[in-house]
């Protein structure tokens, strides 16, 4: 079968590899239909994702149809459309024993530490499979995985109705966080450098928008919060300066949630954290949030249709990544498809 492999940073190849076979552990064989390009995939391609190992078949937003199941499988059957949980945890370490398998001490993530979804077939345990709602196409269903990331970040932020939330960045991640955050009833401020993205965020439920290239973010946040600062901030931009910005604009007793994987040094001071007694929390991947995301769709509280802006056949992955690098303002979400 064919697969997309990052051989080493900035070297992408279409390779031939053995089609997987099911066994007692990976007892569901899935024929891939769609897999998204995430910012972390771009980071692996460019060598800026510190968690990745090479060579690697990437892709952790994994959608397909069940092709074959092993003996005793009851959760899914051949023909079912499914999305796959990307997290593989050991179940035994401190994090796992405390219900936080997404940061397992022996963590393996499909498409990062072990081969992922940019291939024609993948075999996984039935416990990793979630049946898709009929209301979503396979392409749009890719957005369930980033939705779980958004649910995780809002969970880590302990977001509630009385909060004033700043989402820094209105790209694919930020816009997905917005969809989840607005369900809390919190007041939401978004910030970005692209007016079109800010306008889209306002149309999708944000209360206020700040253009970082045109306005003083600190001054603007003070104006919008009666001088206090936001009570929660989530970094969906993950730039060198974003953490410092959030520490500045988050008010006393607030929570700052980081999501980036950059290893570039960034300058922060203890004073900002200690004097305000801020909680600075990482949010990584998701912790069994697929069922929650799918239930929101089934309940009519979340609509993921139309979030994908571009599709490429997986054999044209190089073109897709090259296009991603252009940072064309029309890009929202790019998905690789596997149908001939």
pLDDT value, residue 34: 98
pLDDT on residue 329: 81
pLDDT at 182: 97
Length of the chain: 340
pLDDT at 50: 82
pLDDT of residue 267: 86
pLDDT at 273: 97
Find the radius of gyration of the CA atoms of the chain: 20
Cα–Cα distance measured from residue 103 to residue 88, given in angstroms and rounded to the nearest whole number: 10
Give the architecture (CATH level 2) of 147-282.
Answer: 3-Layer(aba) Sandwich (3.40)
- Give yes or no for a contact between 205 and 165, defined as CB atoms under 8 angstroms apart: no
Where, residue-wise, is CATH 3.40.50.720 in the chain? 147-282
In contact, 56 and 112? CB cutoff 8 Å: yes
Residue ranges matching CATH 3.90.180.10 in the chain: 2-143+304-337
Structure-token pair, residue 305: 């249709």
N-term to C-term CA, the chain: 13
What pLDDT score does 166 carry? 98
Instruction: Quote the pLDDT of residue 49.
Output: 85
Query: Are 73 and 158 spatial neighbours (Cβ–Cβ below 8 Å)?
Result: no
CA torsion 318→321→326→327, rounded to 10°? 170
Q: What is the pLDDT of residue 315?
A: 97
- How would CATH label the architecture of 2-143+304-337? Alpha-Beta Complex (3.90)
Residue 240: the pLDDT is 87
Dihedral (CA of 170, 37, 308, 140) sign: negative
Look-up of token digits 């979503």: 136
Taking the chain (340 residues) in consecutive chunks of 10 residues, what is each chunk's mean pLDDT?
Answer: 98 98 96 95 92 95 98 97 98 98 97 97 98 97 97 98 97 93 98 95 97 97 98 94 96 96 84 97 97 97 93 98 92 90
pLDDT reported for residue 144: 97
Q: Three-class SS of residue 255? A: strand
Burial 9-45 (b: 16+ CB within 10 A, else e): eeebeeeeeeebebeeebbbbbbbbbbbbbbbbbbbb
Residue 135: the pLDDT is 94
């Amino acid at each position: 079968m064919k697969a997309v492999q990052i051989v080493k940073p900035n070297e992408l190849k279409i390779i031939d590899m053995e089609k997987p076979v099911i066994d007692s552990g990976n007892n569901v064989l899935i024929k891939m239909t769609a897999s998204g390009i995430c910012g972390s995939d771009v980071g692996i391609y460019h060598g800026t994702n510190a968690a990745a190992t090479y060579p690697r078949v990437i892709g952790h937003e994994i959608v397909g149809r069940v092709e074959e199941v092993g003996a005793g499988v009851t959760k899914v059957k051949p023909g079912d459309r499914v999305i796959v949980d990307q997290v593989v945890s050991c179940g035994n370490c401190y994090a796992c024993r405390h219900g936080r398998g997404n940061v397992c001490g022996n963590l393996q993530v499909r498409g990062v530490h072990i081969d992922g979804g940019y291939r024609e077939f993948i075999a996984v345990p039935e416990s990793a499979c979630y049946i898709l709602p009929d209301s979503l196409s396979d392409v749009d269903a890719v957005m369930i995985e980033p939705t779980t990331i958004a649910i995780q970040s809002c969970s880590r932020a302990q977001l509630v109705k009385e909060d004033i939330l700043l989402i820094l960045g209105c790209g694919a991640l930020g816009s997905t966080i917005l969809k989840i955050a607005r369900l809390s009833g919190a007041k939401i401020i978004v910030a970005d450098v692209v007016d079109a993205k800010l306008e889209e965020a306002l149309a999708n439920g944000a209360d206020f928008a700040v253009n970082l290239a045109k306005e003083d973010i600190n001054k603007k946040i003070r104006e919008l919060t009666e001088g206090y600062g936001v009570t929660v901030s989530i970094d969906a931009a993950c730039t060198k300066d974003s953490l410092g910005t959030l520490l500045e604009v988050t008010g006393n007793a607030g929570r700052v949630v980081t999501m980036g994987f950059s290893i570039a040094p960034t300058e922060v001071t203890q004073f900002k954290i200690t004097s305000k007694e801020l909680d600075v929390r990482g949010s990584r991947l998701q912790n069994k949030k697929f069922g929650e995301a799918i239930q929101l769709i089934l309940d009519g509280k979340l609509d993921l249709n139309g979030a994908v802006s571009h599709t490429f056949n997986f054999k044209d992955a190089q073109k897709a990544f090259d296009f991603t690098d252009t940072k064309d303002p029309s890009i929202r979400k790019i998905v690789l498809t596997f149908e001939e």
